């Protein structure tokens, strides 16, 4: 599976954020339900649990997807590797191989048309979540993750 980036064919339609795709609905619903906190009562335990889950997911992305899987900054056991992949996946930023492939391309082509999550080339919102929800980039380019396949 490949998803080559072809800037010459970029168009607003091709780069539209797919809020109504399966991944988009889950991602959007997850964030919108957080707004319910404004109207619903909740306990300190619920808030603490929410914060703990958020921190665990961010740890999965930063220590797992980013530092370990994409950059191979450190070594760890197979069990902890699996745990990091699970935590990162829980952050709803697609799967580890997809994320790693996109991130490696990001470093290779930083802030050019080939960098799909550049806030400079596109926008803040695109860099924040558009790149995750755009159907155009949903395939995993396995050429960038040969070390994990
Ligand atoms: Zn990086």
Residue ranges covered by each domain of the chain? 59-149
* Ligand 1 center from residue 17 Cα (angstroms): 23
Residues forming a β-bridge with 17:
134
pLDDT score of 10 more than 90: no
* Ligand 1 center from residue 116 Cα (angstroms): 14
* Ligand 1 center from residue 62 Cα (angstroms): 9
Whole-Å CA distances, 96 to 47, 55, 85, 92, 149: 28, 18, 6, 10, 11
* Ligand 1 center from residue 106 Cα (angstroms): 8
Which of these ranges, 10-19, 71-80, 120-129, has the smallest mean pLDDT? 10-19
* Ligand 1 center from residue 8 Cα (angstroms): 26
Tokens for 38? 């404004």
The residue with tokens 């990091």 is 84
pLDDT classification of 1: cutoffs 50, 70, 90: very low
* Ligand 1 center from residue 40 Cα (angstroms): 38
Q: Which residue has the higher pLDDT, 79 or 3?
A: 79
Tokens for 78? 């197979």
**pTM recorded for the entire structure:** 0.80
């Amino acid at each position: 599976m490949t998803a080559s980036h072809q800037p010459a064919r970029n168009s607003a339609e091709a780069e539209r954020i797919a809020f109504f795709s399966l991944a988009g609905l889950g991602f959007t619903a997850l964030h919108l339900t957080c707004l319910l906190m404004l109207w619903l009562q909740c306990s300190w335990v619920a808030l603490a649990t929410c914060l703990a889950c958020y921190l665990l997911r961010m740890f999965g992305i930063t220590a797992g997807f980013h530092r370990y899987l994409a950059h191979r900054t450190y070594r760890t056991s197979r069990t902890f590797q699996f745990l990091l992949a699970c935590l990162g996946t829980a952050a709803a930023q697609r799967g580890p191989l997809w994320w790693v492939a996109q991130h490696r391309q990001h470093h290779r082509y930083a802030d050019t048309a080939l960098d799909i999550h550049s806030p400079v080339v596109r926008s803040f919102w695109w860099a924040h979540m558009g790149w995750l929800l755009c159907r155009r980039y949903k395939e995993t380019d396995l050429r960038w993750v040969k070390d994990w396949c």
